[in-house]
Amino acid sequence: MLWLILLSIVSVFAESVATIRKDYATFIAASEWFFTICFTIEYLLRIYSHPKRFSYIFSFYGIIDLFAIIPGYLSLLIPKFQYLLVIRALRLLRVFRILKLTRYLKEGDVLKAALRASMYKITVFIATVLTLVTIVGTLMYVIEGEKSGFSSIPMSIYWAVVTITTVGYGDISPSTPLGQLLAGVLMIIGYGIIAVPTGIVSAEMMRASKAALEPCKYCGSAIYPSNARFCSNCGKEHDNAGE
């Protein structure tokens, strides 16, 4: 399934290149239907084998699995020439298949646990940053005004976001000494802010990694997650299941 997902994403990229699409249109179409049929079979088998079928259908992975197959079938329902552009846009939804990769990557459980544990801290951090850029953007609108390109408070907030993230497009810039001073302070704050979410997630990933490193006594592989009932490598049940 990993190879099918990766190859299907490659076919999406290849189809967007005009020369490749022109020379290999038949091959790309055949490949796409092969991928669609394989993912359809997988989707139906998952529904059949899941103990709570409706729970799976409306779960994150269930919706992703549906998005992996539905664009191919939608193209059959809109065959008229004038709707070809719509079909092309819908077929780009196939790129969502890349989200299916997370199911097959054990390390994804560690990352998911770390993000879940740090969600509250990151939410507070983002709220603080949004408050800061709103205040600075409003001040810059008052200081610079429309003559410097700060035509509205939303535009000034956009400038503050670009500045605090150290992107610096340069499409808007302050021209007064006070505005430049405020911009300099925001730039310095931006360098310090970048490290905050990295540190939060890194700390939680360390904790999640330690929790997931319990080895299976049969094959020695790390058990993901740590409270799993069976080893994901050899399938043996281990003693501390459910604790």
Task: Give domain limits for the chain.
Answer: 2-104, 118-211, 213-243
Identical fold at 2-104 and 118-211?
A: no
pLDDT of 159 above 80: yes
Q: Could you tell me which residue, 60 or 159, shows the higher pLDDT?
A: 159
pLDDT at res. 140 = 92
pLDDT of 59 above 70: yes
**pLDDT band for position 185 (50/70/90)?**
very high
**pLDDT band for position 226 (50/70/90)?**
low
Mean per-residue pLDDT, 199-223: 69
Does this model's pTM top 0.75? My answer is no
Phi then psi for 154, rounded to 5 degrees? -60, -40
The set of long-range contacts for 161-169, using a CB threshold of 8 Å and a minimum separation of 24, is 161/133, 163/187, 163/190, 164/129, 164/132, 164/133, 164/136, 164/189, 164/190, 164/193, 165/190, 165/194, 166/190, 166/191, 166/194
pLDDT at res. 86 = 47
Identity of the highest mean pLDDT range in 23-27, 75-79, 177-181, 224-228: 177-181
Assigned CATH topology for domain 2-104: Four Helix Bundle (Hemerythrin (Met), subunit A) (1.20.120)
CATH code linked to domain 118-211 = 1.10.287.70
Question: Which residues, other chains included, contact 121 with Cβ-Cβ below 8 Å and sequence gap of 6+?
Answer: 200
What is the sign, positive or negative, of the torsion defined by CA atoms of 175, 181, 182, 188?
Answer: positive
**Pick from 42, 36, 45: which is nearest to 68 by CA?**
36
**Pick from 132, 113, 121, 143: which is nearest to 209 by CA?**
113
pLDDT at res. 227 = 66
pLDDT of 220 above 70: no
Mean per-residue pLDDT, 29-38: 88
Cα 171 from Cα 131, distance rounded (Å) = 23
Cα 72 from Cα 113, distance rounded (Å) = 34
Half-sphere exposure of 215 (CA within 13 A, CB side): 5
Residue 222 pairs in a beta bridge with: 215
Question: Which residues, other chains included, contact 8 with Cβ-Cβ below 8 Å and sequence gap of 6+?
Answer: 31, 32, 35, 39, 68, 94, 97
If phi > 0 it is left, if psi is from -120 to 50 it is alpha, else beta; for residue 64 that is alpha
147-157: pLDDT as tens digits: 888 989 999 99
